[in-house]
């Protein structure tokens, strides 16, 4: 999902190191970027926020303060939801890339 958002950002130029591409997508929208596909970019930003940096850290490292592993924090239902979000983000990114005029 993060890479889907970064692929769309790459349409504007080099993408810096970030685990929070939703912020950059919203900034680009505020600056008038993505003519003709703004709504899809907004939707992609929303998907990116759902699996943002905090979730990313917990899936990689767990809850270090609470001493819980990622497997204790997330279950099968969470995995299915994350997959659905990632699939939707990928679909949106493909639509955006195809809809942007060079």
Of 4-8, 46-50, 51-55, the one with minimum mean pLDDT is 51-55
Q: Across all residues in the chain, what is the average pLDDT?
A: 94
- Whole-angstrom distance, CA of residue 96 vs CA of residue 4: 10
pLDDT at 62 > cutoff 90: yes
Section 72-99 average pLDDT? 96
pLDDT at 102 > cutoff 80: no
What confidence score (pLDDT) does residue 1 get? 86
> Scanning the structure block, which residue is given the tokens 């190191």?
17
Closest CA to 1 of 54, 42, 45, 60: 45
The predicted model scores a pTM of 0.89
pLDDT at 50 > cutoff 90: yes
């Amino acid at each position: 999902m993060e890479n889907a958002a970064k692929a769309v950002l790459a349409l504007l130029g080099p993408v810096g190191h970030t685990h929070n591409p939703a912020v950059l997508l919203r900034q680009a929208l505020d600056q008038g970027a993505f003519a003709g596909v703004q709504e899809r970019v907004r939707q992609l930003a929303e998907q990116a926020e759902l699996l943002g940096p905090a979730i990313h850290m917990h899936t990689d490292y767990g809850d270090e303060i609470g001493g819980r592993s990622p497997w204790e924090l997330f279950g099968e239902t969470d995995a299915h939801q994350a997959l659905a979000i990632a699939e939707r983000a990928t679909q949106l990114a493909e639509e955006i890339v195809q809809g942007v005029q060079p």
